[in-house]
Amino acid sequence: MPKHGSSASYKSDSTVSIQRLCGGHDLKNLIKIQFILVLSLCVSAVHAQTLKGSRESIEKQYRKAISYGFTFVKSASALKSAISANELIHVAPDRYMDLHDVSFPYAVPGTRLFLTRLSSQYYSSCGERLTVTSLLRPRDRQPANSVAHSVHPTGMAVDLRVPKSRKCRAWLENTLLSLERENVVDVTRERYPPHYHVAVYAEHYETRVARLTGQSPRGSESTPATSFAGSYQRYVVQKGDTLSEIAQRNGIQVAQLRAVNTLRGNLINVGQKLRIPTGAAAESGAEVIATYETTHRVNRGDTLWQIANRYGTSVKQLRRVNGAASDVLQVGQVLKISKG
């Protein structure tokens, strides 16, 4: 018989008290519920800590930029040489992505690839364009509250606007955190002004995409003449557009634009769809067949024509990459989306 006040007596009395309140069979369920609640709180805390960022994460981003050999652009006047050296490529808005007050729309190829894929997937999930608020910022154009080791001057970082919709915000945060757990990005939710700062570990991200798509990462010994980073985006010709203006906005040559779209001259028509080379394709002018960029789960009422228009592709292309002989779709069916 344990003495009064011993731990054995305390446990026995506590168990009896809880059993009287909850019933003997409910005790195990109560313990399970408490365990699940504690586990959920722990998971939430981990996510919150990840979005908060830290001094260690800033230093890690800086070390990655150094290891990649990226150039820290000192001033706006020094930007031209980095572009000429093919270290940076132009980032243009499209049907999936909007640029808001971006003074220097340039990024390293891996970050451009990241934006191409993320914006397409975001549009598919939320039905709205992903908004970019900052890309490359030269060191002499950094805001007063920026850190000394910011990687924005390299073009490997991007700032994204926080979505107003709770659903879209949750999707974006979960996606970014998932990529962070794969160690291909580092994400921080900043408060002043509200935005997500995303440092893309460009070479690691390109390797990840290459692994997913079955292609060789840019710069590896087995890389063919072009890489997935050299893919294409679609552009629909607007009223007043000229071929030279479109080429200039996207940082490519008119000759390249004509070549990849099999144009004999400079004549283009409103509504015409053009292929705009990006990444390695823009740098080399080589022809690249874009691989699958995202997927779409068929909803009630969807048609191939509607899906093709939503993603800037064609019904013929949808049929080709999905092996579909007819327009009949099943709710829940997953289609591969390629802009090639």
Q: Which residues contact 232 (CB under 8 A, 6 or more apart)?
A: 260, 275, 276, 277, 278, 281, 288, 290, 339, 340
**Tens digit of pLDDT for each residue in 271-325?**
888 878 765 444 444 333 333 456 777 888 888 887 776 666 778 878 888 877 6
Alpha-carbon distance of 338 to 185, in angstroms, equals 24
Check which CATH number belongs to the domain holding 128 and give it.
Answer: 3.30.1380
180 inside domain: yes
Mean pLDDT of 233-237: 81
Residue numbers of the domain that contains 90: 53-205
Q: Are 57 and 178 part of one and the same domain?
A: yes
Q: In the chain, pLDDT over 90 holds for what percent of residues?
A: 24
77 inside domain: yes
Backbone angles phi, psi at 76, to 5 degrees: -60, -35
Is pLDDT above 70 for 6? Answer: no
H/E run at residue 89: strand 89-90
Is pLDDT above 80 for 97? Answer: yes
Residue 122: alpha-carbon gap to chain centroid: 8
Largest CA distance in the chain: 100
Q: Are 244 and 103 part of one and the same domain?
A: no
The pLDDT mean for the chain works out to: 75
Q: Would strands 294-297 and 273-277 be described as parallel, antiparallel, or unpaired?
A: unpaired
Q: Are 265 and 304 part of one and the same domain?
A: no
Q: How many domains does the chain have?
A: 3
N-to-C CA span, the chain? 80
Which one is predicted more confidently, 306 or 264? 306
**Tens digit of pLDDT for each residue in 21-61?**
445 556 566 565 565 555 554 444 444 446 777 888 899 99
Check which CATH number belongs to the domain holding 242 and give it.
Answer: 3.10.350.10
242 inside domain: yes
Please choose, from the candidates 308, 299, 309, 294, the residue with its C-alpha nearest in 3D space to the C-alpha of residue 330.
299
Which one is predicted more confidently, 295 or 129? 129
Alpha-carbon distance of 174 to 196, in angstroms, equals 12
Q: State the Rg of the chain over Cα.
A: 26
Q: Are 83 and 165 part of one and the same domain?
A: yes
Buried b (16+ CB within 10 A) or exposed e, 187-210: bbbeeeeebbbbbbbbbbbbbbbb
Mean pLDDT of 86-100: 87
**Which single residue is written with the structure tokens 């099943």?**
330
Alpha-carbon distance of 55 to 38, in angstroms, equals 28
Mean pLDDT of 208-218: 62
Last residue of one domain, picked from the residues 274, 290, 306: 290
- How far apart, in Å, are the Cα atoms of 42 and each of 50, 199, 327? 12, 25, 47
